[in-house]
Amino acid sequence: MTQTIQITAIAHVASGRSAAIDDDWGEVHAKIVLTDDFTPDALAGLQDFSHIEVIFHFDKVLPEKIETGARHPRNNKNWPLVGIFAQRGKNRPNRIGSTICRLVSVSGKTIEVSGLDAIDRTPILDIKPVMQEFLPREKTSQPNWATELMKGYWQK
């Protein structure tokens, strides 16, 4: 059964990066500015955390570009054919992205971050503080193709 859910953006990204280029996101500095529905007290205490998780909407992905099955990550035939839920591509069914990024500062209704892989004007759906207890409690693993794909994602 399909269920429709309505979500409203709580903020938007302000960044000098306006194109969804696959790599070099680590040094990107951006601001997340809350909408007029919020006052600065919505961010009270957030500055005490080193990192935040930002959930956002890939609003620039056209509906006809959405993937629901398997594909080669970045259309690279050297990497295996894997399902959309086994990768973090932007062409996801609900076009939702999630990134843990470094919190630089909080001022008024603005959060400054580094390492957010969302482009300018991207709608923000939620912001969560990163707490050690919510990170994996055991060693993580991933296939070699994922390690190769991510090699330049955060750095040049």
**Tens-place pLDDT, residues 84-113:** 999 988 999 999 999 999 999 999 999 999
Answer with the residue of higher pLDDT: 1 or 134: 134
Q: Does a structural domain hold residue 87?
A: no
Which tens digits make up the pLDDT trace of 50-74? 999 999 999 999 999 999 999 998 8
Task: Answer yes or no: is 64 within a domain.
Answer: no
Report helix, strand or coil for 37: coil
Query: Domain for residue 36, yes or no?
Result: yes
The enclosing domain of 19 has a CATH number of: 2.40.30.70
Residue 156 has pLDDT above 70, yes or no: no
Domain limits for position 49: 11-59+95-133
Q: Does residue 116 belong to any structural domain of this protein?
A: yes
Residue 142 lies in a domain: no
- Cα dist. 48→52, 138, 140 in Å? 11, 25, 27
Is residue 121 situated within a structural domain?
Answer: yes
141 lies in some domain: no
Average pLDDT over residues 116-139: 94
Q: How far apart are CA 128 and CA 25, in angstroms?
A: 20
Summarised one tens digit per residue, pLDDT across range 23-53 is: 555 577 899 999 999 999 999 999 999 999 9
Q: Specify the pLDDT at position 58.
A: 93
- What 44-47 contacts at long range (C-beta under 8 Å, 24+ apart), as own/partner pairs, is 46/103, 46/106, 46/111, 46/127, 46/129, 47/103, 47/105, 47/106
79 within some domain: no
The domain total for the chain is: 1
Amino acid residing at 101: C
Q: What is the pLDDT of residue 1?
A: 81
| Per-residue pLDDT at 26 | 55
Provide the whole-model pTM.
0.90
pLDDT value of position 70: 95
